């Protein structure tokens, strides 16, 4: 990123940090780092996070102070990239993660691969995840399997290899579960989709029951098993399962219980359930 000679003074950048978008502050501080040829900007970033407390509460400011004081460059850039990603400031986040990789952070390789996956840069996500798997002792890490599987699925469609990766991660990673089940349904491999979801549900997945219920309801014509799956989801705290159960019960003519479950979902933040309740308030 190029900056003109009228780059604001470092003191002005820091003093105005709380009144401008955080990513802008980061980019200015990185520009100063590039000019100065060092990474003292990490300590300035810790100060900027402190000033940003009112806008983004919950940031680990003590971590930033210690990173800035210690000069642990790889960890500092990695943590900064993760924090910026959590703040939805994706461009500077990816830049920090790439710099972390360049200065030797192995952990940043996988975080960057996951970031590229969300950005739909599947080729780069796949390349980095493969690099991480080859270059570290975490060859069986489920996060690696999930990222490899999802990126490969987007690039090549469902294959035996990415299916194995996704199956390995599906019980613990909802994104891998969604990707795999969606691909199996698209391929009309409904029994395999059911088996994947049943295993995930039995392993304690919160995401699996509602997906299993939807599979029974929408593809396997089994409303009784759909209702059982939704009830399992409710027992695990999933309000969306309550909404789906309510809709199913309404179709079956069990209006009173249907309203109870849809109201239950609405009270717990399900916007579709709240809209349904509003539309049927006077019925």
Percent of the chain with pLDDT over 70: 71
How far, in Å, CA of 44 to CA of 253, rounded? Answer: 63
CB-count burial class (<10 Å; 0-12, 13-18, 19+) for 215:
buried
Q: Do 183 and 161 contact (CB within 8 A), yes or no?
A: no
279 three-state secondary structure: helix
Work out the average pLDDT over 106-114: 93
Work out the average pLDDT over 34-38: 54
Banded pLDDT at 223 (limits 50, 70, 90): very high
pTM of the model: 0.76
How far, in Å, CA of 282 to CA of 165, rounded? Answer: 50
Q: Which domains does the chain have, with CATH numbers?
A: 1-104 (no CATH), 118-189 (no CATH), 206-283 (1.25.40.10)
Is the model's pLDDT at 75 over the cut of 90?
no
Q: How far is CA 194 from CA 32, 184, 220, 229, 269, in A?
A: 55, 9, 9, 11, 28
Tens digits of residue pLDDT in 122-142: 999 999 999 998 866 665 688
pLDDT at 77: 75
């Amino acid at each position: 990123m190029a900056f003109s000679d009228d780059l604001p003074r470092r003191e002005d950048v820091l003093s105005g940090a709380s009144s401008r978008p955080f990513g802008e502050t980061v980019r200015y501080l990185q520009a100063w780092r590039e000019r100065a040829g060092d990474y003292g900007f990490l300590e300035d970033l810790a100060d900027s996070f402190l000033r940003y407390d009112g806008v983004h509460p919950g940031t680990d400011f003590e971590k930033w102070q210690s990173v800035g004081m210690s000069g642990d460059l790889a960890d500092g850039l990695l943590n900064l990239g993760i924090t910026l990603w959590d703040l939805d400031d994706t461009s500077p986040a990816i830049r920090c993660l790439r710099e972390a990789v360049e200065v030797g952070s192995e952990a940043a390789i996988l975080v960057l691969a996951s970031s590229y996956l969300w950005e739909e840069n599947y080729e780069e996500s796949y390349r980095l995840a493969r690099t991480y798997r080859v270059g570290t002792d975490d060859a069986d890490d489920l996060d690696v399997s999930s990222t490899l599987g999802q990126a490969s699925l987007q690039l090549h469609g469902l294959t035996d290899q990415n299916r194995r990766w996704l199956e390995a991660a599906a019980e613990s990673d909802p994104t891998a579960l969604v990707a795999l089940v969606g691909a199996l349904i698209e391929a009309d491999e409904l029994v395999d989709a059911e088996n994947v979801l049943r295993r995930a549900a039995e392993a304690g997945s919160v995401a699996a029951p509602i997906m299993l219920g939807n599979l029974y309801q929408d593809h396997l014509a089994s409303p009784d098993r759909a209702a059982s799956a939704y009830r399992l989801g409710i027992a695990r705290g999933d309000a969306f399962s309550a909404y789906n159960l309510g809709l199913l019960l309404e179709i079956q003519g069990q209006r009173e219980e249907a309203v109870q479950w849809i109201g239950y979902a609405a009270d717990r933040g399900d916007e579709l359930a709240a809209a349904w309740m509003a539309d049927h308030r006077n019925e």
